[in-house]
Structure 1
Amino acid sequence: MNLSTSVQPITVLLIDDHPVVRDGFRRLLESTTDIRVVAEADDGERGYILYREFKPDVVVLDLNMPGIGGLETIRRIRAHDPVAHILVFSMHSNETMVQRALEIGATGYLTKQSGLKQMVHAVRQVKLGKTYVDPEHISDLVVDRQLFHAALDPINGLSKREFQLFKLMAEGNSILEIAENLSISPKTVGVHHASIMRKLKLQNTAQLVRLAILCDIIQL
Structure 2
Amino acid sequence: MIKVVLTDDHTILRDGITAMLYGDKSISITGEAASGDELLELLQTVPADVVLLDLLMPEKSGLQYIPLLKDLYPDIKVLVLSVLQDEVSVQRAMELGAQGYIHKNAGREELQTAIKQVAANATYVSPSTYTDKAKARDLSRYVIAPVSNGMEFLRLSEAETEILQLVAEGFASNEIAEMLNISKRSVIMHRQNLLSKMNSKNTASMIKYAAKNGIV
Query: Under TM normalisation by the shorter chain, which class is it?
Result: 0.5 to 0.7
Which one has more relative contact order, counting CA pairs under 8 Å at least 6 apart? 2
Match of 1:154 in 2: 141
1:41 aligns with 2:58: no
The alpha-carbon deviation at position 202 of structure 1 amounts to 5.4
1:112 pairs, out of 101, 104, 115, with: 104
**CA displacement 1:178-211 (0-9 Å, x = unmatched):** xxxxxxxxxx99x44x99x83896572289xxxx
Per the alignment, do residues 119 and 200 of structure 1 end up closer, same or farther by CA in structure 2, a change over 3 Å counting? Answer: farther
SS at match of 1:26: helix
The alpha-carbon deviation at position 135 of structure 1 amounts to 2.0
Per the alignment, do residues 39 and 136 of structure 1 end up closer, same or farther by CA in structure 2, a change over 3 Å counting? Answer: same
SS at match of 2:102: strand
2:147 pairs, out of 168, 193, 201, with: 168
Give the number of the structure whose residues are more often strand, by fraction.
2
Per the alignment, do residues 112 and 21 of structure 1 end up closer, same or farther by CA in structure 2, a change over 3 Å counting? Answer: same
Relative to the length of structure 1, the TM-score reads 0.64
Question: Does structure 2 conserve the Cα–Cα contact (< 8 Å) formed by 1:43 and 1:69?
Answer: no
Question: Does structure 2 conserve the Cα–Cα contact (< 8 Å) formed by 1:113 and 1:137?
Answer: no
Relative to the length of structure 2, the TM-score reads 0.65
The alpha-carbon deviation at position 130 of structure 1 amounts to 0.5
Q: Gapped runs of 5+ residues in structure 2?
A: 153-163, 174-186, 200-216
Per the alignment, do residues 23 and 200 of structure 1 end up closer, same or farther by CA in structure 2, a change over 3 Å counting? Answer: farther
Take 2:122 and 2:64, find their aligned partners in 1: how far apart are those partners? 22
Q: Gapped runs of 5+ residues in structure 1?
A: 1-8, 142-150, 157-162, 174-187, 208-220
Q: Which has the larger radius of gyration?
A: 2
2:65 pairs, out of 61, 73, 87, with: 73
Alignment RMSD: 3.4
Per the alignment, do residues 152 and 74 of structure 1 end up closer, same or farther by CA in structure 2, a change over 3 Å counting? Answer: closer
Take 1:106 and 1:123, find their aligned partners in 2: how far apart are those partners? 12
2:22 pairs, out of 6, 9, 30, with: 30
Match of 1:98 in 2: 90
Aligned residues: 166
Match of 1:52 in 2: 44
SS at match of 2:15: helix
SS at match of 1:46: helix
User: What amino acid sits opposite 2:27 in the alignment?
Assistant: I
